[in-house]
A = this chain, B = another copy of it.
Amino acid sequence: MAAPDPATARAAVYEGPGRLTVRDFPLPELGPGDMLVAVELAGVDGSEVHMFRGEIAAIDAIAPVVFGDEILGRVQAIGAQAAARRGLKPGDRVVVEARWPCADCRPCREGNYYLCDHRWEKGGYGWMRADAPPHLWGGYATHVFVPADALVYPVDADLPAETALVACSVLANSIYWTRTAGIGLGDPVAVIGPGPQGIGAALVAQLRGADVVLAGLPRDAARLALARDLGVTRTVVLDGGDGAAQLRAALGQDPAVVIETAGAQPAKDLALAAVRTGGRVVNCSVPPGPLSVDFTAVLLKQVTMQSPLAHPHTVPEALRLGQVLRARGQDVGRMVSHVFALDQAEEAVRTAGYETPESPVKVAIRP
C-alpha cells in the first residue's frame, strides 16, 4: 500500500463504457459512527468486467462510480461511536462487505440484505455516485469510507492478503451456495466450471463431507491442476462426448447436486442432464443472455433449480475457513493469479475479462 498524501485519496473511477480514470479525492470528514479504511487489496470480479463494457445500464445512469466491492484494508481513522460499537481501532485489519441491511424491508429482516427491497437506490461499494462527498465508495482506491451501518469484519494479522480476499468473496459465496443446496455428508456433487468460484464451491462442498467432482473444458487444464493442488480431490475434463456419463463415472453415481458456474448453454444442459432424479441444480453464473430449458425433462426428473445470490452473513465463517484450509496446506490465496497497481485498474479489468493474452484465475488491485 503506497503511503498516501495524508489529506488525499486516489481512486479508479468508472466514467462510462470503456473509461476508467484515476482521480484524487479529499479524504472525507468522519462523523462519530464513521470510519476510514486504507485499502490493502481489492478484488476484481465479473461485475466490473460487465460494467466496464457498458452492459449494465443502471451503473451508467449513476456514473461516475468508484469500482470495487471486495475490500480488504486497515482502519486509518475511526469515530468514537464506531470504535466503541465495532471494537476497532486504527491499524486493525478488516474486510468491508459490499452491502449491508436496511432497517425496514422483508428480505433484510429475514437476514438477506443482498435482496434488500431498496438495493438499487441504496447501492453499496462499487455502486454509488462518486461525484459527491464522501466520494470513496469503492475498493479500487487508496481509501474507502465506511458508514455506521456498513458491515465490517476483523481479519487476523497473519492471514495473507490474497487469502483473506479470496475467502471474503469466493469462499463466502461458496458457503452460502452449498448451504442453500443442502449439501451434506456423503452427497455426490458435481461442480461445472473451474473458475475461482467453481474451485471454491468444490472445496467448501468437500468441507461439508460431500463427494465432489469438478469439471472443466480442455482449455481449463491449468485451472483444474490448480484446483487439485488446492485440494479438490477429483476433476474431470469434459471431452465433448456424454458429459453426464463422465460425471457419473467420476462419482460412481449421478450427482444429487450440480453447481453450475459457467453460464453457457452447454453447461446448463449438462447440469440438467447429469443431476439425479429429485436433485438440485445451483445456478451461480451470469450468462450473457437467456438460455433454453426443457421444463418437461426437468419435471420428469423433479429437478429443483436454485439461484443463490452473493453471501449474506457468511464472511466471518469464510475468513475462518480460509485459515483452516491454509493450515492444511490449501491456501486459497493462490487463486490470485494477477495483482495490479491502482494506476493499472483498467488493465486489471481487461485482464479479468480475458481481453489480454493472460489466463487469469482471480485478479486483484493493490492500491
Contacts and interface: CB of A to CB of B under 8 A. Distances in A.
A295 B302 contact: no
Interface in A148-175: 175
A209 B292 CA distance: 35
Interface stretch (A8-16, A19-27, A109-117, A192-200): A109-117
Interface in A120-157: none
Interface residues of A, number: 54
Nearest to A284: B299
A294 interface: yes
A295 B301 contact: no
A336 interface: no
Contacts of A107: 277-278
Contact of A295 (B178, B291, B299, B308): B291
Contacts of A302: 112, 114-115, 307-309
A337 interface: no
Closest 3 CB pairs of A and B: A305-B305, A115-B277, A299-B307
16 contacts: A109-B111, A110-B278, A112-B278, A114-B302, A115-B302, A175-B185, A185-B204, A186-B317, A208-B209, A263-B295, A268-B295, A283-B298, A283-B299, A286-B296, A287-B295, A290-B293
